[in-house]
């Protein structure tokens, strides 16, 4: 494996090749001595606006002696990368009843992809529509407020991530992450996702990548059925026997539940069938919308607009005791989008295209909540979300419009919209609303304190004409389906809870990685039985 040379700082205008030359110099190597020399990651250090720099990591490979060289240099910037785990799955004979993957978001897609690569011909059951059907249904909802419960921002091919920023950042340290990025690049994502420290695809490009991944699964012998909701599991003698979907009993010894965080009816069914579900903390709040130029100025100062700089993005947080307020899923140059999956509810989310060229920036500004806020029953968190969404629909006038308030008024405990530089992008309209009436008191209190403190970290964040649009409720799953070391649900052989809906991921990349992990667990059970 290559050497990794990190913390190479260069001016904004320096060519990337200069980072490679600097790495060679640190390792006392000449170009002809290496078999590989490439930029591995690039990030922006904007902590000091008067001397912003790009920070590079570079990979170098030698025919031999890489580990010894790294040790001999005694440099904290140079380290040997151990070999990554083998990601090529074993070739397995097809089963009489193929493994079933429930859900075709990032976790389900990558689980099915790995199972298909192994020759297991998985069957994917997705309650929502294909992107060819889902895309027009979402556009119709955004234009008219007419919601299709089976084809919306939450349900359908690609999952909720297909209508997002396509962000590929994660806090997990798992070697599968880079492999997932490599697969996405092979399937049509921009190659830059392999080197950017904060990669994103954008909703416009991500949708085609998702279609390409589906075609690859089909080419490898898998099957994908859309508009096919799983009604219940088939269980017997402590193990899964298959599923019932669309009135049809489909037998299988291995079922992967990659449900996503919004499959509320399925969570109820699972609990009723005796599957263990636990309440899980999550967060609720609003979308905050600023002019993108304001964010760029706050981050970059006089360098704002420099052609070498990316569109500005931020991540801010503040904690008081056990409760935190933080920004979530920041969308530079993006849009606040209607994201309900049930009639007579309002849900907000953020989305941006690859170019991130919209006038406004937006982010979720959310406060953590736990059982102390909503109750200890496994589905109490889900009910808490639903009550907020229904109350927001009523507060918005019952048209699908979202309740909102400008920051200046909100900080003064007032309602109303003093619109100036920010014209809200929420497609169904924003109408004045009272966040103190919508949320339990602790939520607006934390939001006010967070905005004030974040305004000191990022100039302009607390600008009075910034807009708060409510509610942001689908930050993560309100439940967890506990699983053991083999990846299976407690007391149910062959049932594999997976991804964000099961409480084991938070975003596209971590969900995809969990899908790969679950596929590996399925294959381990199959090979152990052979």
Provide the whole-model pTM: 0.94
- Give me the residue label for tokens 């978001």: 105
Please determine, for residue 100, whether its predicted confidence score (pLDDT) is greater than 90. Answer: yes
Question: For 191-215, how does the pLDDT look when each residue is reduced to its tens digit (9 = 90+)?
Answer: 999 999 899 999 999 999 999 999 9
Are 460 and 290 contacting, i.e. CB atoms less than 8 angstroms apart? yes
Over residues 319-361, the pLDDT tens digits come to: 999 999 999 999 999 999 999 999 999 999 999 999 999 999 9
Q: Is the pLDDT of residue 530 over 70?
A: no
Closest listed residue to residue 169, CA positions, set 475, 433, 435, 510: 510
For residue 83, pLDDT beyond 80? no
Closest CA to 259 of 8, 504, 9: 504
Give whole-number Cα distances, 388 to 62, 337, 443, 469, 470, in Å.
Answer: 58, 17, 12, 13, 9
Residue with tokens 């530079």: 332
Residue 318 confidence (pLDDT) above 90: yes
31-35, 171-175, 323-327, 416-420: least confident range = 171-175
Query: Which of 147, 529, 509, 155 is CA-nearest to residue 344?
Result: 147
CA 292, 297, 300, 303 torsion: positive or negative?
positive
- Give the number of other CB atoms < 10 A from CB of residue 202: 22
User: What mean pLDDT is predicted for residues 407-430?
Assistant: 98
Q: Per-residue pLDDT for 1 more than 70?
A: no
Dihedral sign of CA atoms 438, 439, 445, 446 in order: negative
Residue-level pLDDT at 211? 97
One DSSP character per residue, 322-378 reads TEEEEEEEEETT-EEEE--SSTT---EEEE--TT---SEEEEEEEEEE-HHHH-SST
Query: Whole-number mean pLDDT of the chain?
Result: 95
d(CA 240, CA 238): 7
Helices in 252-334 by DSSP H: which ranges? 264-272, 292-300
Query: pLDDT tens-digit profile of 108-153?
Result: 999 999 999 999 999 999 999 999 999 999 999 999 999 999 999 9
Tens of pLDDT, residues 243-297? 999 899 999 999 999 999 999 999 999 999 999 999 999 999 999 999 999 999 9
Phi-psi region of 472 (alpha: psi -120 to 50; beta: other; left: phi over 0): beta
């Amino acid at each position: 494996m290559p050497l990794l040379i990190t913390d190479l700082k260069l001016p904004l205008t320096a060519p990337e090749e200069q980072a490679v030359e600097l790495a060679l110099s640190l390792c006392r190597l000449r170009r002809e001595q290496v078999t590989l020399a490439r930029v591995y990651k690039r990030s922006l250090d904007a902590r000091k606006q008067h001397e912003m720099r790009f920070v590079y990591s570079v990979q170098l490979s030698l025919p031999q002696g890489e580990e010894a060289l790294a040790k001999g240099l005694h440099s904290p910037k140079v380290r040997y990368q151990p070999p990554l785990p083998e990601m090529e799955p074993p070739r397995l004979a097809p089963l009489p009843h193929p493994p079933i993957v429930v859900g075709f978001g990032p976790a389900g897609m990558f689980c099915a992809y790995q199972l298909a690569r192994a020759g297991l011909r998985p069957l994917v059951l997705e309650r929502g529509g294909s992107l060819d059907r889902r895309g027009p249904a979402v556009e119709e909802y955004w234009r008219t407020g007419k919601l299709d419960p089976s084809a919306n921002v939450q349900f359908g091919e690609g999952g909720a991530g297909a209508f997002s920023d396509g962000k590929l950042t994660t806090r997990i340290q798992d070697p599968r992450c880079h492999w997932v990025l490599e697969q996405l690049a092979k399937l049509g994502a921009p190659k830059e996702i392999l080197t950017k420290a904060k990669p994103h695809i954008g909703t416009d490009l991500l949708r085609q990548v998702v279609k390409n991944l589906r075609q690859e699964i089909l080419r490898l012998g898998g099957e994908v059925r859309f508009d096919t909701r799983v009604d219940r599991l088939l269980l017997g003698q402590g193990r899964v026997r298959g599923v019932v979907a669309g009135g049809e009993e489909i037998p299988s010894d291995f079922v992967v539940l990659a449900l996503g965080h919004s499959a509320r009816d399925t969570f109820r069914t699972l609990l009723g069938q005796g599957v263990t579900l636990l309440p899980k903390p999550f967060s609720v709040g609003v979308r905050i919308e600023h002019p993108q130029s304001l964010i760029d100025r706050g981050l970059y100062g006089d360098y704002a607009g420099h052609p070498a700089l990316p569109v500005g993005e931020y991540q801010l947080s503040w904690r008081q005791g056990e409760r935190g307020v933080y920004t979530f899923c920041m969308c530079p140059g993006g849009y606040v989008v209607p994201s309900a999956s049930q009639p007579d509810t309002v849900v907000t989310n953020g989305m941006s295209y690859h170019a991130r060229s919209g006038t406004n920036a937006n982010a979720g500004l959310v406060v953590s909540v736990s059982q102390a806020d909503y109750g200890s029953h496994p589905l109490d968190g889900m009910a808490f979300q639903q009550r907020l969404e229904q109350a927001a629909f009523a507060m918005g006038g019952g048209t699908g419009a979202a309740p909102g308030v400008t920051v200046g008024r909100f900080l003064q405990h007032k309602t109303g919209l003093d619109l100036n530089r920010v014209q809200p992008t929420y497609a169904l309209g924003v109408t004045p609303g009272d966040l103190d009436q919508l949320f339990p008191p602790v939520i607006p209190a934390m939001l006010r304190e967070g905005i004030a403190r974040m305004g000191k970290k990022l100039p302009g964040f607390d600008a009075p004409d910034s807009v708060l649009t409510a509610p942001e409720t689908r930050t993560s799953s309100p439940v967890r389906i506990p699983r053991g070391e083999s990846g299976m649900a407690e007391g149910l052989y062959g049932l594999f809870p997976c991804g964000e809906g099961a409480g084991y991921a938070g975003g596209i990349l971590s969900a995809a990685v969990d899908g790969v992990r679950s596929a590996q667990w399925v294959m381990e059970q199959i090979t152990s039985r052979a």
